[in-house]
Amino acid sequence: MNTRQLNKLNMYLGVRRYVADPKVAEARGKIGGFQEAWDQFFPVVNEIRQQAVASRDLVTGGTTQTKETVRESLAIEAAKISAGLVILAEVKGDAVLAEKAYVTKTAMLGGRELETAELADSLLLLASAHVDHLGKYAVTQERLDRFELLCQEFSDLIGRPRAIILQRKTANRSLTELFHEADLQLSRMDRLSPSLEETHPEFVAGYREHRSIVHVNATRPLSDEELENAVREVKEKQEAEARKAAAKASQEAEEAQRAAVREEMEEKLRVAKKGLPVPAGGMPSSAESGGAARPEGERAATAAPAVNFGLPS
């Protein structure tokens, strides 16, 4: 994977991270076409990232603290998903499902890292098969999407290629095909997002910020923290450009105002030299001034007589 593709992948990952957030589920679902494009975009980006990691073109390291943090988040989400599945199994009277679905946080954190990753993948497969009936138990597709991201992140950190690819028809496609598909779905979301500005302006603003991520000379996919930093950089750059544009507009307005005042003063001076009265409201029109200026002699002949204030002449 070349640098240009990695730069684009990081932009995809930023969009994926933002739009996958359950907090914006209502906004993205407002327009069916946007949701449909997102449903196609999400797995394609996951596959591109997976191929990037598996290709060994990049190094996805991580500190022990980062690995443990991801594992902790994975365990917390697994326990919530497991609870929903177990309740569903109890309602259905399915003892086999209940046994398979029972996963605790302790089990996720207590075994070897490889066992944790395999347990998480198994739970994800099980929940995905019953997701249509899990909504009332707080296990939605959005929650499973987020859980899949954690599964993928943890597998990357421990250097384990994931053995499963959920709901993907893209496993055997080339990177060129995958990038083309991702661009197509992203373009559809781009074109539909303005229709959400009136009802969900914050969502559209956030989408555009993440859409604008530029990571020059990338050597690997960015972590969530790095993606947030990249978004912050984009936002700060946009704000700086906006301040610069506002300052320039203000300066141009001031210069225009000074030019207008200067022109008015010059016009007053020209009128005064011609002996015409200068009205308080502005310059006299050609009609008010009688058209062309009269000869000096005529002005003198018609000038008002001087007033004598009792001073000796």
pLDDT tens track for 182-226? 999 999 999 999 999 999 999 999 999 888 877 666 666 777 677
Specify whether the CB–CB gap between 145 and 20 falls below 8 A. Answer: yes
**Distances, alpha carbon 213 to alpha carbons 84, 199, 231, 238, 245, in Å:** 36, 24, 6, 12, 21
- Does residue 20 sit within a domain? yes
- Band the pLDDT of 21: cuts 50, 70, 90: confident
Q: Give the integer Cα–Cα distance in Å for 211 and 228.
A: 12
Into how many domains does the chain fold?
A: 1
Average pLDDT, the chain: 79
Give the per-residue SS3 of the chain.
Answer: CCHHHHHHHHHHHHHHHHHCCHHHHHHHCCCHHHHHHHHHHHHHHHHHHHHHHHCCCCCCCCCHHHHHHHHHHHHHHHHHHHHHHHHHHHHHCCHHHHHHHCCCHHHHHHCCHHHHHHHHHHHHHHHHHCHHHCHHHCCCHHHHHHHHHHHHHHHHHCCCCCCCCCCCCCCCCCHHHHHHHHHHHHHHHHHHHHHHCCCCHHHHHHHHHHHCCCCCCCCCCCCHHHHHHHHHHHHHHHHHHHHHHHHHHHHHHHHHHHHHHHHHHHHHHHHHHCCCCCCCCCCCCCCCCCCCCCCHHHHHHHCCCCCCCCCCC
Specify whether the CB–CB gap between 53 and 60 falls below 8 A. Answer: yes
| pLDDT, position 99 | 94
- pLDDT tens, position by position, 126-141: 999 998 899 999 998 8
Residue 34 neighbours by CB under 8 Å, 6+ apart: 28, 188, 189, 192, 193, 196
- Does residue 305 sit within a domain? no
- Does residue 52 sit within a domain? yes
Domain span at 127: 3-238
- Does residue 263 sit within a domain? no
- Does residue 166 sit within a domain? yes
pTM of the model: 0.47
Structure tokens at 100: 């398979």
More confident residue, 6 or 122: 122
Alpha carbon 114 to chain centroid distance? 35
| pLDDT, position 219 | 65
Segment 59-77 shows an average pLDDT of 72
- Does residue 189 sit within a domain? yes
- Does residue 220 sit within a domain? yes
- Does residue 193 sit within a domain? yes
| pLDDT, position 56 | 44
**Distances, alpha carbon 73 to alpha carbons 67, 77, 285, in Å:** 10, 6, 78
Task: Name the amino acid, one letter, at 183.
Answer: D
